Structure 1
Amino acid sequence: MSIEVIGTYAVAICLLIGAAFALIGTIGLLKFNDSMTRLHAPTKVGTIGIGALLLASMIHAHVFADGSMHELLIMAFLFVTAPISANFIAKVNIHRRSCDAPPPPPKDDTWSTLNVPEADRELAEPEKV
């Protein structure tokens, strides 16, 4: 087997994986009802699908041509901006009250800290041997 044949198989596998993830992301975008659940399909699955397609492009460029590194910049931009845009879309939906807001945190000093409630202190202390 030559490097061209191996490269062709690698490109084909990456294209199939990328197309499958893009298809799953599209189906998820169409099937989910509200905007908060619909948000996960294009950001999570779509990022992996586009990443696999760009990886196929990189492999093809390195095996059959001089090579190209532009795809790395596209992947870096995509992997950085997709979570940020998803966060902003989720914040807009929460502020518009178009979805169920997350529950408020408890009113004690144990939420998001290392403090342990009085009732659980004996469970949290390590046993002394």
Structure 2
Amino acid sequence: MAENAAEIVTRAELLEREIKLKEDYNGKLDTVNGKVDRLEEIILPWTQTLKGIEENTRRTADNYEKTNEKQDQILANYHNQNLRIEKLEGATTLKGERIKGKTAIIVASITALGAAGGLIGLFGERLAAAIFGG
């Protein structure tokens, strides 16, 4: 069969080998198709799940943004209210200090008048005699 170091193949052998290669190729192609079908069965449900997760994540992000905006508004209102309360407390404290000051002046005046009256009562006759001569 060997002629000039080349092997001679008959037409029947060539056809037989071609048929065997086609069968082998078709078998491998069927195996790949089966695996692709199984992948579709596995992946398609995951695709729907992932789409749902994506949508939920988007909604969560939107809600988070809205919550942050509302929280910022609440904190701004809280800050403004604290400023107003501090202003009112300051005014009340100032008013209280004024009342305390006025009360202290009145008490001191009454005490001074009482002390002067007491001194006049004790030393009045002697003082009158010394001043008016008597």
- TM-score tier by shorter-chain length is under 0.3
Question: TM-score if structure 2 supplies the norm length?
Answer: 0.25
Question: TM-score if structure 1 supplies the norm length?
Answer: 0.25
Bigger RCO of structures 1 and 2 (CA < 8 A, at least 6 apart)? 1
Structure number with greater Rg is 2
More helix by share: 2
